[in-house]
Amino acid sequence: MLDLYGTPRRRPPRWLDDVYRRPDPFRSLEEWQRLTHLDLADMSHAELRRDLWRLRYRLHVDLQPDPWYLERHGAISDEIVRRTRSRPADAA
């Protein structure tokens, strides 16, 4: 298997797909929405944090991750920051 630059790419351990799997857009609409990050708007703040934690674990173990995982990390992080900034400050 070659990466985008034509260099040999090691296949990650199969169990990593149980931790965080790249979606197959031809399987269902939900998978396509996840692939394009459209699912993030429907996720709660807690779900976003859990998803980010699982993704970070995948990135920590997978030495040569698919570029989609890095894109997903940015999309989740941006969504968390956006929601945090739009949340009204607690009145003290």
The per-residue pLDDT for 92 is 43
Alpha carbon distances (Å) from 56 to 8, 37, 60, 64: 23, 16, 6, 13
Confidence label for 6 from pLDDT (cuts 50, 70 and 90): low
Please report, in angstroms and rounded to a whole number, the separation of the first and last CA atoms in the chain.
56
What's the pTM? 0.78
List pLDDT tens digits, range 37-79: 999 999 999 999 999 999 999 999 888 889 999 999 999 999 9
Rg of the chain over all Cα atoms, to the nearest angstrom: 15
